Amino acid sequence: MASRLLHAAVLGPPGSGKGTVSQRVAHSFGLQHLSSGRFLRDSLRAGSEAGDMARQYLEKGRLVPDHVITRLMVSELELRSGQHWLLDGFPRTLGQAEALDKVCNLDLVVSLNIPFETLKDRLSRRWIHLPSGRVYNLDFNPPLVPGVDDVTGEPLVQQEHDRPEAVAARLRRYKDAAKPVMELYRSRGVLHQFSGTETNKIWPYVYTLFSNKLAPLQSREAN
């Protein structure tokens, strides 16, 4: 089993469960969970240079461009050069993957393939607490009180791009951008794809994959 540092990524379309899978991997194997969405929210709150750049796009209802997200993520990775880590939702595009190459090489890339209808249903049932980024699903992870965040009691919102009429276009954009990323990592022999409709059924296979690279925390604690 490898003793060197493990650098991995979990990729998948919106609603694929990559955040949940990433949290489980991080918890089970002691990897730093590096979420591009969380870092973006933190940078917006902190008023950092990258956050201010992102805000200019978000206030106009536009997607934050590659170079801003890449700058944000690369600066975070440079702070963690001596750690195991797991990227959640990055790189999304070939430009981001090429920028990542200049910092490090990924050892393992997990791609979650979820049927379109499942994604559409999940996203249309998804509500978010914007300040924290906590995500709720009305079917399998509902808030304790409808429409209210469990922790703060603040209101939840459904983002415009999660509304049923916007989901199809959003998923198409993801697929077009992700295709060359998947081809790149497949050509390097580090891509592992998992298909299904339920995260709990996909998870054991992901766990086994990581177990072949890194001892789970429980077994390390037992030794």
The C-alpha atoms of residue 89 and residue 135 are separated, in whole angstroms, by: 15
What are the Cα distances from residue 7, in Å, to 82, 97, 117, 155, 212?
10, 13, 32, 36, 14
Binding-site entries:
15-20, 36, 41, 62-64, 89-92, 96, 126, 135-136, 170, 199
Please answer whether residues 87 and 111 qualify as being in contact, where contact means their C-beta atoms are separated by less than 8 angstroms: no
Annotated binding residues for AMP: 36, 41, 62-64, 89-92, 96, 170
Exposure on the CB side of residue 75, measured as CA atoms within 13 A: 14
Burial pattern 125-154, b for ≥16 Cβ within 10 A else e, equals: bbbbbeeeebbbbeeeeebeeeebbeeeee
d(CA 157, CA 64): 20
Which residues does the annotation place in the binding site for a ribonucleoside 5'-triphosphate?
Answer: 15-20, 126, 135-136, 199
Contact, 115 vs 201, CB < 8 A?
no
